[in-house]
């Protein structure tokens, strides 16, 4: 990809980007997807607290691995969030979209 080999984005800058997306697009699905496996749980938690409200989960998203669904559910449970599967948005049976709410 064009960004391969570039320096990783500062985690706080990434979280601020999520917050700006939520503020500027209050009704949008701000989704965490590819690359979550490389994010610590604390960073994912801050992303949800900053305004992310959706995630892809499953074995693989295009060419990138995703965390295990059980691990995702455990994190969301610890955050006091619940999930509603939105199967109509999934592109295949192996990938599910989760809408996360408080």
CA distance readout (Å), 2 to 5, 6, 35, 36: 9, 9, 15, 19
Length of the chain: 102
pLDDT in tens, 6-19: 988 899 999 999 99
- First-residue to last-residue Cα distance in the chain: 35
Q: What confidence tier does 34 reach under pLDDT thresholds 50, 70, 90?
A: confident
* Eight-class DSSP state of 96: E
The token pair at 95 is 């990938």
Q: Is the pTM of this model over 0.95?
A: no
Q: Is the model more confident about 83 or about 48?
A: 48
Query: Maximum Cα–Cα distance for the chain, whole Å?
Result: 37
pLDDT, position 26: 94
């Amino acid at each position: 990809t064009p960004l391969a080999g570039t320096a990783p984005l500062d985690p706080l800058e990434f979280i601020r980007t999520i917050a700006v997306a939520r503020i500027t697009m209050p009704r949008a699905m701000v989704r965490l997807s590819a690359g979550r496996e490389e994010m610590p749980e604390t960073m994912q938690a801050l992303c949800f607290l900053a305004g992310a409200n959706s995630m892809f989960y499953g074995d693989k998203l295009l060419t990138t691995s995703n965390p295990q669904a059980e691990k995702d559910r455990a994190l969301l449970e610890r955050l006091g969030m619940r999930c509603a599967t939105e199967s109509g948005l999934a592109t295949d049976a192996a990938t599910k979209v989760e809408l996360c709410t408080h």
